[in-house]
Structure 1
Amino acid sequence: MSLETLEWLNKNTLIGFTEKRGTAWHHHRGMQGTESNHYAGAIPVEDVRRRLFGWESVPSEVYVKSPLTGYPERDDDRVAFSRSDTGRVLGYFGPGYEPHPYDEWLLNKVAQLLDDDLAVGSAGLLKGGAVAWVSVEVPENVVTPEGVTFRPHLLATTSFDGSLATTYKPVVTNVVCDNTMHAALKESGQVVKVKHSRKSVLKLAQARDALNLVYRVADSFTDEVARLCRIDVDDRQWQDFLHAHAELPAKLGRGRTLVERKRESLTHLWKNDARVAPWRGTAFGVVQAVNTYAHHGQVVRGATRPERNALRSLTGDFDQLHHRTLVSLSRVLDVPDLAPAT
């Protein structure tokens, strides 16, 4: 992890409710300037606006060097959006693209939804400011009878590089390992997406429906943990799951070595790691092992681990991982419908 990356995280992410979740792993007070990026309680909306979103995305003309003349010529089919404060180019788009400014779509619209029981729990910029998020959370942690401590929240995110539609969805964070986990909601309309088009509009009633799911996700996730903890998985079945989840290539070589290391890492988590071992012998332990490995052990290329984890949380990759894990486990245990519908 480079010092530049650590400095970015300490200056471009805000972490709230640290009395409940603890400090972020990247916390380095000396890199935060005159203000800490950690808050014991809720993060004031104005702090998010001032510290993260105090710039505009400015459209600019795009010029391309002509292969015929060697001189730059204007590309009328594209426009570039850049940060007004640093000049960094965030993305290139066609004429139908409609930007969703962070201040408006992640703060003003979210602020209209907040009530006395919900507040901003985290916010940040990724990819040089091309992606942003704001998380709306309940103040208190939730603890299941099985000892799983988690925080339900509404995740609002959008982008200026075309990678994400503006999205509002309920998610769950497992506090012990700081992992994003499947929210286990069966209700329709739990994810609200608004495309970056000229007809884009957020219906606040629809967004409030998604926000209201934050209250129900606690019960849903608690039920999901209980359900998975009731399903036994012995060591033989764990080995069978590894064969299904991380299939070993027949041919010797680097690919086989990588799969062997993955299996070893998963088994270490299953047997010895405090983030997983308390639920060893259950389906939830299997889910927790795979999820923790994906967050903290899996090889990351082309990005830093915290940025990759944050992006996977925003895109829903961890929900897909949860589903694939339970599909594989269902086959091993010969238990139908173990995985939730997607």
Structure 2
Amino acid sequence: MSHCVESMAYTEQAPWHNLGNALPAKQPIEVWAQAAGMDWQIMESPVYYQVPNPSAASLVLPFAEQKVLFRSDNHQPLSVVGSRYQIVQPQEVLAFYRDLAEYAGYELETAGVLKGGKKFWALARTGKETVLKGNDLVKGYLLLATSCDGTLATVATPTTIRVVCNNTLAIALDGAVGAVKVPHSTRFDAEAVKRKLGVALTQWDGFMYRMKTLSECKVKTHEAMNYFMRVFCDSDQHQSGLGLSNERALKKVQAMYESQGRGAELQAAKGTAWGLLCSVTEFVDHERRARSPENRLDSAWFGQGALVKQKALDQALQMVA
């Protein structure tokens, strides 16, 4: 992600290997857009194709069913999509939080661009937080992200971050992530998404009650190993995205769980199901092999890493069911 440092901004502590531009707290959306590299527009153009003509100049004809999306600032192409594809602009993602910050106490904490502009996001604190045993602080966030290459719908996801290690985990109850998704075949209506999120955000208390239950669930050595085996080495190996690195992953997460993970010695995590879950989320967010921090973040939030974390949560909740 070193080539994309200018495409991320943050307040307070620098996330993800100290990349990005630091901002003072409570900055206007316009300042965020510039600092996060989101002060440009997605433009569109018809797709044309060239027809050879031996006796004259080649014909250039339009293909009406598709269009090219490109950046307004550097004219770099982003994707080729269907003619009905609904664009969500980078500054729309930031503007989503304007009234939430003004009236509901939300505060933007990070925002930025991935893959040259094909994906972009903003993450804001909701003001909700819980302290588990041993001063293990978990804060509530709202993540809004989208893409312009067809790889991601516009998704608003209630998320938790464990402060001691900056691990992220999507809020989920009963095996379902409490996200609101808007496909690009539909116009993005920010107010409608906020209304739907009202239900998801009320899940915070129930979700954190279950996390407290995990922190009170003591785990024996063989139970810990069985848990890691179920997360990383079951019949769905290919879905975990870990492939031949399963053995390395097992050794690493076990060591992190036993003592090497950030916060592993806190009372809530030491020898508990919460500690098992935290070791997996820390591994996915910070330790898993990736071509770059940018790719690791993309995977941890939107790709295979997110699936691994969801599976780890499901397996942990089964231990206290």
Q: TM-score, normalised by structure 2?
A: 0.81
Deviations 1:206-240 (A, max 9, x none): 414516755762x3443222110122211122223
The 1:123/1:327 distance shift into structure 2, 3 A limit, reads: closer
Cα gap change, 1:207/1:98 in structure 2, threshold over 3 Å: closer, same or farther? same
Q: Does 1:44 align with 2:28?
A: yes
| Residues 56 and 281 of structure 1, relative CA distance in 2, 3 Å threshold | same
* Structure 2 counterpart of 1:244: 230
How do 1:207-246 and structure 2 match up within 5 A?
A: 207-210=194-197, 214=201, 217=204, 219-246=205-232
Deviation at 1:123, TM superposition (A): 0.9
Q: Report what 2:113 is aligned to.
A: 125
Q: Following the alignment from structure 2 to structure 1, what is the Cα–Cα distance between the partners of residues 287 and 53?
A: 50
Quick one: which amino acid aligns to residue 146 of structure 2? T
For the pair 1:26 / 2:45, whether they are aligned, the reply is no
Q: Which residue of 2 aligns with 1:77?
A: 65
The within-5 A match list for 1:46-61 is 46-51=30-35, 52-61=37-46
Q: Identity, % of aligned pairs?
A: 21
Check conservation: 2:10, 2:23, Cα contact below 8 A.
yes
Deviation of the 1:50 alpha carbon:
3.3
8 Å Cα contact 1:170/1:211 also seen in 2 = no
Q: CA deviation at 1:102?
A: 2.2
RMSD of equivalent CA atoms? 3.4
**Matched letter for residue 170 of structure 1:** P
Question: Structure 2: which 5+ runs fail to align?
Answer: 236-241
State the Cα distance separating 1:44 from its structure 2 match: 2.4
Q: Distance in 1 between matches of 2:157 and 2:144?
A: 7
Count the aligned residue pairs. 307
Deviation at 1:326, TM superposition (A): 4.7
Q: Residue 329 of structure 1: CA displacement?
A: 5.3
CA distance in 2, matches of 1:189, 1:263: 25
SS of aligned partner of 2:97: helix
- SS of structure 2 residue aligned to 1:106: helix
Question: Alpha-carbon deviations, 1:255-283, whole Å to 9, x = none?
Answer: 99733222211221122214252213111
Q: Which has the higher contact order (CA 8 A, sep 6+)?
A: 2
CA distance in 1, matches of 2:176, 2:277: 24
CA change 1:247–1:41 in 2 (3 A) is same
Alpha-carbon contact 2:261-2:279 (below 8 Å) kept: no
Question: Normalising by the residue count of structure 1, what TM-score does the alignment of the two structures yield?
Answer: 0.76
What is the one-letter code of the residue matched to 2:311? R
| Structure 2 CA distance for partners of 1:85 and 1:220, relative to 1, 3 Å | same
- Name the counterpart of 2:238: none
CA deviation digits over 1:58-87, x for unaligned, max 9? 112323455897966543321101001111
Query: Which region of structure 1 is more displaced relative to structure 2, 92-101 or 146-155?
Result: 146-155
In structure 2, C-alpha distance between the alignment counterparts of 1:86 and 1:138, rounded to whole Å:
34
Partner letter of residue 38 of structure 1? A
